[in-house]
Amino acid sequence: MKNMLFLCTGNSARSVLSECWLNHVGGDEWRGFSAGSHPTGTPNPYALQTLENHDIAAVAGGGGAVRSKSWDEFALPDAPIMDVVVTVCDNAAGEVCPIWPVRPGGEAPIKLHWGYPDPAAATGSDEEILAAFEEVFENIRRQINAYIGEN
């Protein structure tokens, strides 16, 4: 089982969508997690609606309900060891991340940046905001599917 951690500042939209999608398609090979440098404390309702619209359970890598949490949780000694750490927003990509525990054999996790626009910044009607979330979610799905298909 390979673990992938998705990081964003608020851990409420892009990283949550990424975590849930990977857990939906990862099977027995991949498990997704998400966290933020300054978590909002709760997933964005439009992110949860987007997942529901695609019949995707809002389930975290640990098996419980997805939640907004600090990336500090994943730097603790008893945290799951990450194989890949992905920043999904430009703010988190520019921040100093915690030192992640290494994989067996002493390898640091692979670090990637997949930047997506913040759908939580969308304005307008509910339909327009959901459309922004849908567009970002489709890009997340394509990126994750391509990556796990190659690895």
Give the C-alpha distances (Å, rounded to integers) separating 33 from 18, 58, 111, 124, 128: 8, 12, 14, 30, 28
Number of domains the chain is built from? 1
CA torsion sign for 100, 104, 108, 112 is negative
Query: What's the one-letter identity of residue 73?
Result: E
CATH of the domain at 132: 3.40.50.2300
Catalytic residues: 8, 89, 97
pLDDT digits (tens, 9 = 90+) for 116-145: 999 999 999 999 999 999 999 999 999 999
**Assigned token pair, 147:** 């990556």
**What pLDDT does residue 85 have?**
92
**Assigned token pair, 9:** 């500042």
User: What is the extent of the structural domain holding 94?
Assistant: 2-150
pLDDT digits (tens, 9 = 90+) for 52-103: 999 999 888 878 889 999 988 888 888 898 999 998 986 654 545 555 656 6
Taken as a whole, the chain contains a residue count of 151
**What pLDDT does residue 90 have?**
65
b/e per residue, 119-146, with b = 16+ CB within 10 A? bbebeeeeeebbebbbebbebbbebbee
